Structure formats: C-alpha cells, structure tokens
Amino acid sequence: MADGGRLLIIDDEESMLQMLSVVTSKGGYAVTLARNGEEGLVALAKGPFDLILCDLKMPCLNGHEFLKKINELGVEVPIVMMSAYAAIEDAVAAIKGGAYDFITKPFKADEVLLTLERAGEHLRLQRENQRLRQQIDDLQREQGLDGMVGKSSVMVSFLKTVAKVAQYDTTALITGESGTGKELVARGIHQKSGRAGKLFLAVNCGGMPESLLESELFGYVKGAFTGAEKDRNGIFQEANGGTLFLDEIGELPPEAQVKLLRVLQEREVRPVGGVRTVRVDVRVLAATARDLEEEVEAGRFREDLFYRLNVIRLHVPPLRERMEDLPLLCACLLDRIAAKLDRQPPELPPATLAVLLRHRWPGNVRELENALERAMVLAEGSVIKPEHLPENLAGLTEPCKTGIEKVLGTYSLKKGQREMERTLIAQALATTGGNKSKAGLLLEISYPSLLSKMKEYGL
C-alpha cells in the first residue's frame, strides 16, 4: 500500500500535521493535509483516497462527526483515528463508528506506518474479495453451474464440454476423485438442459441396502413382498420427464445392473412383483470414483451396462490440477459457508492463501470446504489466519518430502517448473506476510514480474 497510496491526514495541530506528512511521505504515500473535519470532507469531494488518518478532538467537525458524515456519504475508506486524550470509550466508539483502528499520541513513526500498512492491506483484501466475487458471478452467468467455478484452462475446457453435453439427452458417465463435485456437474447439466423445469433426483447407489435398492429404483406392486400394502412408484417413475443422477454407480449389485440396462435400452421399468412395464422418459447421469474398466475386467460390473452408460465421459479435474482456481473457489465457498453460519464472509490474507496453495488436497473441493468452515468457526475476527486452518495444513512447510514426482505432481519439466514457481512465490508471500516488495527481493525478481506471475498463478 506504501507505493503510490493516497493518504488524507486530518489534524488541527500544525506541528502534528507536518510531522505526519514527513513520516508518511517517506513511507511512500501521496499526502493531502486537512486542518479539521470540514476541510477533510472538502478534500474527499475533490478526489478518492486509499487511507485516512484522522484526529479525534478537533474544532468545527471532530473525528466522531467526521466518521458519521462519511458513512452517510457512503465513502468506503479505511480510517485510522488518533488522539492524545484517548480513553477506552473513545476507541470503542471510533471502531463502532466504522474506523479501522485507533492509535494514541504520542506515537513513533514506525507505529504509524505499520498501522497504515495494516489498514492498506485490509483495503487490498476487500478489493480483492470484491474482484473475486465479481469473477464468480461472471463465470457462473457464463457457465450456468452453481458452485462450479474456474478460470484455469483445464476447467474452462471441461465446463465448455459440460455445456455441450447438456443440450442433448445423451447418457453421460461422470468420473473423478472423491470430493471433486460430480453431483454439482450433474445438477449443472440438468440446469442447462431442456429438462431444467422438471425434477432432478439424486440417488447414492452405495448408500442404500441391496434388499431395498430395486424396489426404490423401479417401484413395486401391492403384495410384492411383506409390507407392500399398495402400489408404489419407484425413483425412475418419480423422475419422469426430468433427470436421474445415479451416484456411486459402481456399487450397484448384479441384479440391479441387469434391470438398469433394460431401462436404458427400452426406456421402461418393471416394478418389483409386477408383470407389466411402465414407460419412462428420464435422462440418466451416472457417476463413480471407481475405475469401471477395472471393475468390468474383474467381473464386478457388466460390460454392456458400462458401454451403455459411457456414451459421454466427463472426467472432473482434481483440485491439484487446477490450483489457479483456488482463490476463486475459496471466495465462493466462504460465501456459501458464511450464509450457512449467518455471518459475513471473512477475509483470506496472502499468508493463509499461501498455506492453502501448498497443500495437495487429496480430498479435493470437499476437503477445502471443510477446512474453510473449520477456520471460519475458529476465527475470532473477520480474518482467517494460518493458525485457524487444520493442523495438517497450518504446520505445512512443503508439499511432500520424498519423490520429485510427489513434490511437483508430475515428471514434466514444463509443468514442474510452473509448480515450483508457484510454490516458491506462495512461500515468499507467506514468509513476508503478504508484502510483495519484500517477497520480490526474496525471489530475486522485479516487483512488476512478481505481480505478473501472481496474476498468472492466481495468487
């Protein structure tokens, strides 16, 4: 913030104004001076400021009144209040009034600069959060998939394919590691399809007792078994006209596989105990974290059913292959978690983001969401710090200690170089507390080069 930041200093003591002007100008700020609150308002009307340093006790318009005025005007600038007659009540009132911080005179030059730097970082985080949330809104408007955001090349390509697949009723098999968001993809396909106004039903094939699975999927007739006192529609009939998502399809038992194959081929179901078939118009999307080709070879999954499901294969990229999307994902997830917890979304400073970027995320987006929810619960203020993260993340100093392919996630020189650069930049930012000038010195690259690479890697 000390490179070109515009600072407004308001104080009725001429000597204090001059001293603060010299100190902050040496710190790199472009300084404007005002001798009371009314002059401060005039200065604000002439142009925007990045920070305001304001005295509390002044004639004409004091610090509390100045705070109230700029709140009424809707001016959003971090304000640091100062006073030589400070009391706890004054500090509390200033903070409640909207001030970022409160410092007591007399103070050292370093104290002023450090407080302003913190306030500037707060402003930068606010603007970064606004930018990320705007990107999320834009991406979701373009992609039409709630909760599935990404600007990395691998994710952009994947989402374009999803959009194409959604236009047709073709059966699709969604594969990917646990926690990558396979159900979100299925819901997105439904939302962008011609069936969007109809039901979307999701069934976990591995979470239902085998004895009940067939009757739940295909329904049953009265008297089919003990307790079947009347006819009951199955999930396929309930989803008629809409979309049925069969999660963990690899867990489907052999007998149910045979019946599902018939449904996909004939577009009709036969309820348990029934002799007549019922026509259904359902789009089927299936998902699995298993390798179904291996399951077929092992005889645990029918080959004909596999080919019937695998008309279109959609493989959801794991999070470690699209780490450029992590800042966007964090902003999206923090909004969702904050709404659930009835709180304002917290800020994620560079030091915390650097820790998140060093992790390999074997649990993918689900693991990330759990880590952020834990951090939000433990964070006392509006900022998530590294110590609020789970222990396996907070103490992380390097991705892995054995095997270059495990450290970098690849043998490719090109990909490995990018991964190493991103990791070193993230560690330098963490070490310097997000100070980009100091991080550039550690990395031995220029400030503009660092900004360019941070943008490239989504840091």
Check whether residue 307 and residue 350 sit in a common domain: no
How many Å apart are CA 353 and CA 121, to the nearest integer?
A: 14
136 part of a folded domain: no
So what's the pLDDT on residue 127?
A: 76
CATH number of the domain that residue 27 is part of: 3.40.50.2300
Classify the phi-psi angles of 456: left when phi > 0, otherwise alpha if psi is within -120 to 50, otherwise beta. alpha
Shared domain check, 24 and 156: no
Percent of the chain with pLDDT over 70: 90
Collapsing DSSP states into helix, strand and coil, what is residue 104? strand
Q: Is residue 141 part of a domain?
A: no
314: nearest Cα among 150, 140, 162: 162
Q: Residue 41's domain spans which residues?
A: 6-130
- Domain for residue 397, yes or no? yes
Angle, to 10 degrees, between the axis of helix 14-26 and the axis of helix 109-143? Answer: 60
Measured distance CA(149)–CA(227) in Å, rounded: 46
Question: Which residues of the chain register pLDDT less than 50?
Answer: 1-2, 396-407
* CA 301 – CA 252 distance, rounded (Å): 8
User: For position 392, what pLDDT does the model report?
Assistant: 81
Of 103, 130, 157, the domain-final residue: 130
* pLDDT score for 419: 76
Contacts of 280 (CB under 8 A, 6+ apart): 236, 237, 239, 240, 263, 267, 268, 269
Query: Cβ(181)–Cβ(329) under 8 Å?
Result: no
Q: Hey, what are 378's tokens? A: 């433990």
pLDDT of residue 375: 93
How confident is the model at residue 112, as a pLDDT?
A: 87
**291 and 353 share one domain:** no
Q: What is the pTM of this model?
A: 0.64
Whether residue 254 sits in one domain with residue 186: yes
Same domain (yes/no): 174, 276: yes
Over the stretch 44-102, which tens digit does the pLDDT of each residue have?
A: 988 789 899 999 888 888 888 888 888 888 888 889 988 876 667 777 788 888 888 88
Q: Are 353 and 253 in a shared domain? A: no
Domain boundary among 317, 345, 377: 317
Residues 301 and 163 in one domain: yes
Look at residue 403 in the predicted model and tell me its pLDDT.
45
CB-side neighbour CA atoms (13 Å) of 153: 2
- Please check whether residue 428 is in contact with residue 443, taking contact to mean a CB–CB distance below 8 angstroms: yes
- The pLDDT of residue 410 is 55
**pLDDT of 211:** 75
